[in-house]
């Protein structure tokens, strides 16, 4: 019933990593769900502070399943929701992974929405964040 209701309202359900130490169990769940309106949400800040696996591995491993991405930075010690560049994430490498996937998806009509949790000014956001996908800024 839940899947039917989501289709009626044209919404998407996404499973997000929160305290997960590894990305592989999320992929396993996504492989089992047979619904066009289901995907994964990668919170790169959570991956950075709650997992020993590099965030680049999370992005590469989950990219084909992603429908949403939470973009914020931290120093790996807590979920600080810092602006990109104010923590230790290697954003340029992660961004390249997302851009490669977007290039692959263009012909299929799939879209990913990137959410940037903003704790800085818009000028810094524009300097650091050059991904061409839609961005929702949360203050």
Dihedral (CA of 69, 15, 59, 110) sign: negative
What pLDDT sits at residue 132?
Answer: 46
Phi, psi at 3, each rounded to 5°: -65, -40
Token duo for residue 88: 């230790």
What pLDDT sits at residue 137?
Answer: 45
What pLDDT sits at residue 114?
Answer: 52
Half-sphere exposure of 97 (CA within 13 A, CB side): 19
Strands (E), 62-131: 66-71, 113-117
Longest dimension (CA), the chain: 45
What pLDDT sits at residue 122?
Answer: 56
Are residues 44 and 59 in contact, defined by beta-carbon separation less than 8 angstroms?
Answer: yes
| b/e 17-51 (16+ beta carbons within 10 angstroms → b) | beebebbeebeeebeeeeeebbbbbbbbbbbbbbb
Walking along the chain (139 residues) 10 residues at a time, the average pLDDT comes out as: 54 89 97 88 94 96 87 92 88 84 74 54 53 46
For the entire predicted model, the pTM comes to 0.78
What pLDDT sits at residue 1?
Answer: 44
Nearest CA among 114, 124, 49, 61 for reference residue 88: 49
């Amino acid at each position: 019933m839940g899947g039917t209701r989501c289709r009626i309202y044209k919404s998407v359900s996404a499973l997000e990593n929160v305290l997960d130490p590894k990305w592989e169990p999320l992929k396993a769940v996504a492989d089992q769900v047979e619904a066009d309106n289901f995907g994964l949400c990668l919170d790169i800040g959570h991956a950075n502070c709650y997992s020993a696996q590099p965030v680049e591995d999370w992005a590469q491993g989950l990219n084909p399943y992603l429908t949403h991405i939470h973009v914020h930075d931290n120093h790996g010690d807590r979920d600080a929701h810092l602006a990109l560049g104010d923590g230790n994430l290697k954003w340029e490498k992660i961004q390249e992974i997302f851009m490669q996937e977007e290039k692959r998806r263009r012909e299929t009509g799939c879209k990913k929405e990137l959410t940037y949790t903003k704790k800085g000014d818009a000028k810094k956001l524009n300097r650091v964040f050059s991904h061409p996908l839609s961005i929702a800024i949360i203050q």
